[in-house]
Each structure stands twice: as structure tokens, then as C-alpha cells.
Structure 1
Amino acid sequence: MEGLKVSKAELMVYLHPSKSKNVTQAIDNEFSSMLFKYDETFDGVLLAYSASTKNELGKILPGLNPYFGVKTQAQLLLFYPKPDMFLEGKVVKLGEHSIHIIVLGFSSATIIEEDIREEFTHKVKHGEEVYASTVNRRHKIEVGTIVRFQVKSFDEEILHISGSLLQPHTGSVSWLDKHAEDANAESNIKKRKGREADNISASVDEDSLSLKTDHKNRKSKKHSKGSSR
């Protein structure tokens, strides 16, 4: 899935003097407070981190509250959805005019009717809503389905994604993967048959060449006997 990246950063973390007794814990608390929030500095939502300091000595900053800065090395896992990226999420609700998805367990996504391609038709079967494809009857989207969709926009403040299913390779991930496997298998079969046909053709050509050579040799021998007479 797109929209995920690991970044290494060297940061200056500013701590209150009251936290000087346990700098490591204080830095961990600072990073923990940023989890699952969009941060402009990182240009993404912090999902996980690993942080360390070379030493716990910091530079005291002057002021009413003399904070001190500690140089920190961090490895960050970030979520940064951008337009045209392809994400995957779990369908949590279906409506006649929209599909609602949860991405990575915390970010919501909505795909409205105008962004759902025409092959998908909203139906109610046995009291449950489903979007069924009119092109491939086994391609269905229902509650619990993992879907692949394209990002249209991302609201950084509320972590909400507007998505689209207009692209042909979007929809149910299980169906898309199965369809891709079948297509690859069919392609491999065609390639194998093509190679077999080429081998047969080559074999026929060799046999034909052999027959022609034998025929020429025989004619040559007959001509030689006729000349000797």
C-alpha cells in the first residue's frame, strides 16, 4: 500500500527542567503525544517511532521557563496520503450513495456516489447492503471487505480521506488479487503453449530439412551413377 514511509530524523526536543531527572522517559512521552496526529514538521501522521539520544546533556534556553533542548535521533513510521495514491482499508458502512472505510484502524475515508464507477450497483440482499459489479458477478463490496481505492484529498485536521473507485484496478482487494493471479496463470499458459508450438515448428522444419537433404543426396547419387555409365 502507498502512503507509508519510514523517515530518519535528527531533532531537538525541548523539555521542562522538571523532567531533567529522566530525560529518556520525557522524550518518549513527547513522541507518544504526537502519535496518530498530523505533524507539519514530519509532513505526515506519526504511527510509530524509535528515538535515542547520544547524551542527556541539553542546552538551557533563557526565559521565564528555562526549557532545555536535547538532540535526539529518531526513526519514524509516517502515514502521508497524497492525491492519486492508492490506499487500502476496511469497509465499515455502506449506503445507497456512499461507501465508508477505515484505513489503518484510525483514519476514515469516504467514497461518494459520483466517485464510484458505473459497473458497481447498490443492492440490498437478505437485509444487507452490497455494491455488486455488473461486469464481474463475483466482484462485490460489502461491510468487512478490504478495498483498494485512489486518494482524491486528505483533510489533515480530522484525518479524513476522500477517495475514488473510478480507476479499473480499484475495488475488492481479494477479487483484484485473485483476478491478477488468474490473468498471470492464463498468460503463463499462453506463453507455454507458444513455446511448445515453436518447438514443434522447429522440429518440423528440422525434419523437413532432413528429408530435403536426403532427397538431394539420393538424386546426387543417381546422377553420379548415370554419369559413370
Structure 2
Amino acid sequence: MEGLSVADANLVMYLHPSKSRNASQAILRELGSWLFMFNETFDGVLLAYDVNIIDKKAKILSGVHPYFGLKLKANLLLFSPKPDMVIEGKVVKLCQESIHVIVLGFSSVIITAENIRGEFKYRNKDGEELFASKSHKRHVIKVGTMIRFLVKSFDEEILHITGSLTPAHTGSIRWLDRNSEEVSEIDRSATKSRDRESLGDKTVGEKATPLSYNNHIKKSKKRRIAE
């Protein structure tokens, strides 16, 4: 799934002298307080970590509060959804105007009616609400369905995602995986159509994620988790 990555990080953790007797525990508590929160330095939500203290001799900082610093090496599991990424989640609520999804058990998603492609039609069948494809009768989205959708935006403060089911390669994961060849053909046709519309208007877009750092934390490298 896109949006998940592992980062190898070099960290310096600054602790109060009162925590010097059990620095390891203090470090784990500090890292634990970062879990499931967006961290600007890491440019993502910290989901898990594995840390190794490499500096056994703490460096005392001068000042009113003589904190001491310890160097660490850590492997961090991060969730950082960006616009146009395709991620997965479970449908937890559905109505005529929207589909509500949960990702990784903590991040909420809303997909409103205007972001659901016309192929899907809302139905209430025997009291069960669902979106059924008019083109493929077995392609159904209902509560409990695992879906693949496109990220439109991500609110870092409340960890809320606005999603889209407009592209042909989004929808029920189970159906998409069983009909991958057909979906690929639809995507190729859509791409050719867009290319014809934009003929003569060439632009080059560059996406780069700079290294983030401050006086506490420095990230060494980041790699995406293989799907």
C-alpha cells in the first residue's frame, strides 16, 4: 500500500537529569508519546519503532536546565498519505451521500458522492445500504468491504483523509484483484483520452521530499515498504 514507509533515522534524545537512572525507559516513553501522531520532522504519522542506543556516554548541555543528550539509531514505520496516492481501508459506514472508511485502524476517511464515479449506484437492498456497479454486477461496496481509493487531501492535525473513487483502479479490493486485466485496460483507455485532450500542453512536474531535521532529530534515509 502506498503511504507506508520505513525510515532509518539518526536521533539525538535530550533527557532531564532526573531520568538518568533509567535512560532507556525514558527514551521509550518519549518515543511512545509520538505514536499515532503526525510528526513534521518525519513528515508522517509514526506507527511503530525499533530503537538502539549507540552512545553510552551522555553529553551534558550547559544552561539553566542541564539536559543530557543520547544518540540513537531507529527504524521507524511511518504513514504519510499524499494527494494522488492509492491507499486501502475498510468501509465502516455508508449512505447515499458518502462512504466512510477507516485506514490502519486509526485514520478516518470520507468519500463524498461527487468523488464516487458514476458507475456506482446507491441502493438499499433489504435494509442494507451499498454502492453497486452498473457495469459489473459483482462489484459491490458495502459496510465491511476493503476498498482501494485515491487520496485527495490529508488533514495532519486530526489525521483525516478525503478520498476519491473516481479512477477506474479504485473500488472493492477483492473485485479489483480478480479483474486486474480489465481494470488495466480501462485505465489505459482513460490515459489515452486525457493525453489527447492535453496534446500540445507539456509540463514537467518534479516531486521531492527534502530531508527534515532540527536540533533534536535528523532523518538519514527513507524507503517505501514493498507491497
TM-score, normalised via structure 2 length: 0.78
1:141 and 2:166 are equivalent in the alignment? no
Distance apart, 1:54 and its partner CA = 1.5
Residues 165 and 171, structure 2, Cα contact 8 Å, conserved in 1 = yes
Larger fraction in helix: 1
Q: Secondary structure at the match of 1:84?
A: coil
Where in structure 2 are there 5+ consecutive unaligned residues? 185-227
- Distance verdict in 2 for CA 1:158–1:176, change over 3 Å: same
1:71 CA displacement: 0.7
Other-structure match for 1:16: 16
Aligned residue identity for 1:52: N
| Gap runs ≥5 in structure 1 | 185-229
Q: Quick one: percent identity of the two aligned structures?
A: 60
Give the aligned partner of residue 129 of structure 2. Answer: 129
Asked whether 1:65 is paired with 2:65, we answer yes
Kindly tell me: are residues 124 and 183 of structure 1, through their superposed partners in 2, closer, same or farther at Cα, counting changes over 3 Å? closer
Aligned positions of 1:150-189 closer than 5 A: 150-180=150-180
What is the deviation of 1:182?
Answer: 8.1
Distance in 1, matches of 2:14 and 2:55, equals 14
Question: Which stretches of structure 1, 4 residues or more, deviate above 3 A after TM superposition?
Answer: 181-184
Residue correspondence of structure 1 range 1-229 to structure 2 within 5 A: 1-180=1-180
For the pair shown, the structure with the greater C-alpha radius of gyration is 1
Corresponding letter in the other structure for 1:45: V
Answer yes or no: is the 8 Å Cα contact 2:169–2:183 preserved in 1. no
Q: Matched residues in 1 for 2:97 and 2:60: separation?
A: 57
Amino acid at match of 1:129: E
* Equivalent residues of 1:23, 1:56 under 8 A apart: no
Are the structure 2 counterparts of residues 182 and 150 from structure 1 closer, same or farther at C-alpha, using a change threshold of 3 Å?
closer
Post-superposition offset of 1:57: 1.9
| RMSD, matched Cα | 1.4
- Where 1:121 maps in the other structure, the secondary structure is strand
State the distance in 2 between where 1:122 and 1:16 align. 58
- Distance verdict in 2 for CA 1:84–1:42, change over 3 Å: same
Could you say what secondary structure the match of 1:26 adopts? helix
**Corresponding residue SS for 1:19:** helix
Kindly state the Cα deviation for residue 107 of structure 1 after the two structures are TM-superposed.
0.4
CA drift at 1:64: 2.9
Residues in 2 aligned to 1:137 and 1:183: alpha-carbon distance in whole angstroms: 15
1 or 2 for the larger relative contact order (CA 8 Å, sep ≥6)? 2
Write the deviation string for residues 36-78 of structure 1: whole angstroms up to 9, x where unpaired: 0000010000000001112332112223322111111111000
